[in-house]
Amino acid sequence: MQAYHSYKAEDFLTDDSFIAWVYNRDAAAAAFWSGWMAQPQPNRAEALLAKDILEALNLPETEVTEATLTHETGQILRRVSQQPETRSLPVFRRSWWLAAATLILLLGAGWLVWRIPQKSPWLTSLLPEARPNDGVVEQANRTSKPVRVTLPDGSTVRLQPNSRIQHVAGFGQQVRAVVLTGEAFFDVVPNPKVPFLVYARDVVTRVVGTSFTVKAYDDLPQVTVAVRTGRVTVYSRKELEQQRNVEKPEVTGVVLTPNQQVVFNAKQEIFRKELVENPVFIAKNATSVSFEFDDVPLTEVFRRIEETYEIDIVYNESLLQKCSLTASLTGLSLYEQLRLISKSLQGSYEVTDGKVLILATGCGE
């Protein structure tokens, strides 16, 4: 039996059984590794990192010739280490060649995973709760398509092109925190005891278990956080750091619920809360909800929309209590639905602080 509990990512990458499991090529390997991963392994993060690399590569079963590997590996290693070219390369065992081949394909695919032995000072300032000797893992997407990353706690990240995330090697033990540059969609595994933090330029997003998108490109003046499911709180990093050593910190964050987003302007240091550009159905039974209305009271129409999108619609009930709607809203976006309803009332609507305000004084008759 292999001592898998002591494997590093590079060891998993050269293990035939592990590769067979990732690519679903062997039933026995699938059964073994599924059971192994379900146990509390000390190096589960290493296995997940290797799994992400293999899935990103989607390696074919064809062999790479040793001659090609000898040449290409020398080129890659010289570029990485910035050492002058040597006349020959020593002979290594087959697993080393497979690791080298993986490195070549990895770099060629634009999917980079770097290990930094020690935390850099800037990361230490962001993640003071982490242990000082923890190394850093950086994963960068240099491809033209989104890449899926699995974090050590099982949370997943859909990393967009020209984006990268960093976290300490001890991720999940005392703190779950990542530093994002670019854009990513996070689907976080719930763990009330260890909140999940995303540091993105001037903004810190704190969640327990939810799914959301953070957009924080260096060349954009704003940072945007948009929620798909659950609940998140967004803070100014500056304010959070100022309160870090206060005995009873009072940090005012912006709370977001599904289909809401917040835009942070770094120059003005203000948050603007609003609805996302394309709100989606949130309710579990949303697909079975009918948006065909035949003389239906407007209060019921608003209730159905609120529950489907999990948003708040504010209106004057006393003015609209006798109003009804006869219309088909099926297949329309939320904003198209609101425009049609507002038009029937000879009124309008606006979005303020993530809520919809219906501006109408009567039924429009």
pTM of the model: 0.70
Structural domains of the chain sorted by starting position, each given as residue range(s) with its CATH number in brackets:
4-109 (no CATH), 115-275 (2.60.120.1440), 286-359 (3.55.50.30)
- Residue 89: band (very low, low, confident or very high) from pLDDT cuts 50, 70, 90: very low
DSSP-derived 3-state class of residue 139: strand
| Phi, psi angle pair for 318, to nearest 5° | -65, -30
CA neighbours closer than 13 Å in the CB half-sphere of residue 7: 22
Burial 216-245 (b: 16+ CB within 10 A, else e): bbeeeebbbbbbbbbebbbbbbebbeeeee
Angle of helix 44-57 relative to helix 94-109, nearest 10 degrees?
60
Q: Which two tokens stand for residue 154?
A: 């099982």
8 A C-beta contact, residue 220 and residue 263: no
- Please check the confidence at residue 130 and state whether its pLDDT lies above 90: no
Q: Above 70 in pLDDT, residue 58?
A: no
- Cα–Cα distance between 26 and 17 in angstroms, integer? 8
Q: Is the pLDDT of residue 172 over 50?
A: yes
Between 155 and 9, residue with greater pLDDT:
155
* Cα distances (Å, whole numbers) of residue 24 to 30, 34, 39, 149, 174: 7, 11, 20, 19, 33
